[in-house]
Structure 1
């Protein structure tokens, strides 16, 4: 049986190499969302217990994470409201990923605005499973319950936009920020909906901004939307937004993806 995220995080120790289960891979490398989530967990484990909420994160995926990964977290600076932590992931004696995480407490401010409007979507129980060609579906997908709520389908020559309800199959006991980061990367790059046949893709950079300190519980349904805003010369940029079931924005983000089609 595939080890759930709850089991992976429960046994995670940043001081020893982490063996990546086959069920959490995409091709020959670890699922990027898992590497990112473990980076957040490494920061939580290493930094002092009074870290404020995760506010933003930047991830650079520079080499494949194959078989195992070692993560090292270093607190770069602790200010009055914000703490920055750097996490380096190494696999096969080379840097595989680097993360810069910003944990920040809320501060009084007279500036408040929200222009994010959730897309129309049926209830997740009324949406069909987000199924695809099993021969090209990454192994990690089995760890999520995905329901298609609109947009295109990978390899269908559709518009470069994806819309789906997603929840963890089992992330009980996982820190909400860790579970959220893992889930936020669960959809394929939006550019893949414009493909007419399978071709490799790979995330190069990923930036996320958390819109709220009240994070969803790890078992909640979340609505994920991603759209390719510009694709050319073998690279695609996509914007990403996540809403909860009440239509409140939880995460905004962007990715740069290498496209080999």
Structure 2
């Protein structure tokens, strides 16, 4: 099922108390799965979708912090709850939760802000030299190894190896896009897309092992152009530290005009 079809199944957002809203969803099919849980990118994306229904139109997403608290079961209804923590003249802070079977499974704290004139201008953002791909470089669908959600995305790996290939690399360079075009590409789509890449460290493993993202931070650098279709985004991630069963990665995301649109940081648990 296409990502926009999933989003369209969300019920109308209801105001349940002062500065609190909720909506419901009938559940995610297992072809959006990542092991025993739903793909983290889609659940984090759903929470942004709910947030976008209440945030003021003059505010753009600036920071998005996600904690994956517990697994999200397939074909099981869940509720999205949004709470406005504070909204001032320049910034708004929100808390959003995905709740299933009366337990919080995913929790997001998001900051939205207006653009302002400032005398301070610093730009030390990285650039890349990768050529826009003509097609995806396929990651094979291996039963019980490749997550099912991969069928909804296309990756073009420029550097790094496929997961569980006993590689010496701990980074990925490449491109990413949705498998199917959308009528309007939004931050909901971008959030799900960024998380489609495998954790960079698992290419070092020889055999499959459980891997789980614990926390995930996205910083939006450039307001994203509203676009339709299926744009490519460049992606480069590097592992800064891995020990004691945890890895810490940092990534940069560019649009197809070579503008940095987001920075991403993850804490990953590896059960090898």
TM over 0.5: yes
**Partner in structure 1 of residue 186 of structure 2:** 176
Give the Å deviation of 1:170.
2.8
CA separation in 1, counterparts of 2:140 and 2:238? 19
Name stretches of at least 5 consecutive residues in structure 2 with no aligned partner.
12-21
The answer on whether the counterparts of 1:160 and 1:191 sit within 8 Å (CA) in structure 2 is: yes
Q: Tell me which moved more, 47-56 or 198-207.
A: 47-56
**Partner in structure 1 of residue 99 of structure 2:** 90
Give the Å deviation of 1:16.
2.1
CA separation in 2, counterparts of 1:151 and 1:35? 27
1:173 aligned counterpart, secondary structure: strand
- Give the alignment partner of residue 238 of structure 2, picking from 227, 240, 247: 227
Alignment pair present for 1:66 and 2:88? no
Matched positions, count: 258
Q: Deviations over 1:25-60 (max 9, x none)?
A: 101111000011000011122x25535111110000
CA separation in 1, counterparts of 2:43 and 2:135? 32
Alignment pair present for 1:140 and 2:149? yes
The answer on whether the counterparts of 2:236 and 2:251 sit within 8 Å (CA) in structure 1 is: yes
Q: Tell me which moved more, 171-180 or 99-108.
A: 171-180
1:19 aligned counterpart, secondary structure: coil
1:178 aligned counterpart, secondary structure: helix
CA separation in 1, counterparts of 2:10 and 2:227? 20
The answer on whether the counterparts of 1:5 and 1:170 sit within 8 Å (CA) in structure 2 is: no
Alignment pair present for 1:50 and 2:61? no
- Give the alignment partner of residue 36 of structure 1, picking from 39, 44, 55: 44
What are the within-5 Å matches in structure 2 for residues 1-261 of structure 1? 3-13=1-11, 14-45=22-53, 47-50=54-57, 52-67=59-74, 68=76, 69-125=78-134, 128-131=137-140, 133-158=142-167, 159-170=169-180, 172-174=182-184, 176-215=186-225, 217=227, 219-261=230-272
CA separation in 2, counterparts of 1:179 and 1:153? 24
RMSD of aligned residue pairs (Cα, Å) = 1.8
CA separation in 1, counterparts of 2:204 and 2:172? 11
CA separation in 1, counterparts of 2:205 and 2:47? 31
Name stretches of at least 5 consecutive residues in structure 1 with no aligned partner.
none
The answer on whether the counterparts of 1:124 and 1:149 sit within 8 Å (CA) in structure 2 is: no
The answer on whether the counterparts of 1:216 and 1:244 sit within 8 Å (CA) in structure 2 is: no
Q: Deviations over 1:106-158 (max 9, x none)?
A: 11112222223233323211663244644411011100121112223321222
